[in-house]
Amino acid sequence: MIDLDALVALRAVDRHRTVAGAAEALGFTPSAVSQQVKRLERQTGVRLLERVGRGVMLTHAGRHLVDEGARLLTDLESLEAGLHRQTGTVAGIVRLTTFSTAMRGLVAPVARGLLDAYPELTLTLAEREPWDTIDLVATGQTDLGLVHSWGDVPLAIPDHVETTAVACDVADVIVHRDHALARRTQVRPADLVEEGWVATPEGTICRQWLTRMYDGTGRLPRIAHVSMEFDSHLALVRAGLGIALVPRLGRAPLGDDLVAVAATDPVPTREIVALHRRSMAASPAVSAVLDAMCADGQNSALASA
């Protein structure tokens, strides 16, 4: 009989191309993952992995096992979700992956209430970029994902992943109270071409949107400082080191030193979407977490309007 946990481990090795990468994704040690794959090879009687440089790749037999096994794991996941739906049980582990502002603004406010309401429910939380979250949901490495999509910056969602709108968020231009723009009620990209920005790293969705804002100006935003966290953006603006585009969701209080100025033409708006595999649709645990986040998302949208 094929060990299902070992099959999951083999699929993770295929996805990450190294045993160490698979171990990190699964929360195991590399030794434990190696033992699972070896056990699967003993059970099947065929070699499943071969070393390529510093990594590994599936043999032809390993590829067949992972491809066919994926359907089996999906069917089992759907079976378990349906079983819990029949009994109305909100129980088990829900792995939720999200981005930082949603962790602060959407997940943290509802997590304690969910765990108190459903004592048999366990939440495990992680922060990742939206593209990574989509991949983790699609490949079964997380159960629920929260991602954001700015304006016309697209997100490619696989067909077997369902989406649910959770909230709509808006970003403001944050300036120091002594900045000339602090007296404005709104600004356009043309007003900002000479400014130095505190921005997220190149390749992030927020950085892409900041660049898109400048379409039609003949300029690119001048990036003075790079930081991943919006809390750090606020600290740098507070120190007079630039301006920043910071979403309202999960934003720390600005205090007396900072001013939020509305941006227009275009308005920097992002849609926050929850993702789960279609095979998890019947899970009461997934539904409970999703419902709580949607309710909180509506409240957050009303609060920031």
Q: Point out the domain boundary residue: 51, 66, 84.
A: 84
For position 186, which CATH number holds?
A: 3.40.190.10
Whether residues 58 and 79 share a domain: the answer is yes
pLDDT at 25: 77
Whether residues 79 and 225 share a domain: the answer is no
More confident: 140 or 85: 140
pLDDT at 78: 74
Whether residues 283 and 153 share a domain: the answer is yes
Domain that holds residue 29: 4-84
Whether residues 70 and 106 share a domain: the answer is no
Q: Point out the domain boundary residue: 21, 56, 84.
A: 84
Whether residues 177 and 116 share a domain: the answer is no
* pLDDT average, residue stretch 274-279: 93
Whether residues 106 and 123 share a domain: the answer is yes
Whether residues 15 and 105 share a domain: the answer is no
pLDDT at 182: 97
Whether residues 178 and 50 share a domain: the answer is no
Half-sphere exposure of 110 (CA within 13 A, CB side): 21
Statement: residue 299 has pLDDT above 70? no
Whether residues 225 and 286 share a domain: the answer is no
Statement: residue 67 has pLDDT above 90? no
Whether residues 76 and 104 share a domain: the answer is no
pLDDT tens readout for residues 153-210: 778 899 999 999 999 999 999 999 999 999 999 999 999 999 999 999 998 888 988 9
d(CA 176, CA 158): 42
Domains of the chain: total: 3
* pLDDT average, residue stretch 95-113: 94
More confident: 183 or 71: 183
Q: Please state, in angstroms and as integers, the Cα–Cα distance from residue 221 to each residue in 189, 217, 245, 268, following that order.
A: 9, 10, 11, 15
What pTM does this model have?
Answer: 0.76
Smallest Cα–Cα separation from 133: which of 109, 100, 105?
100
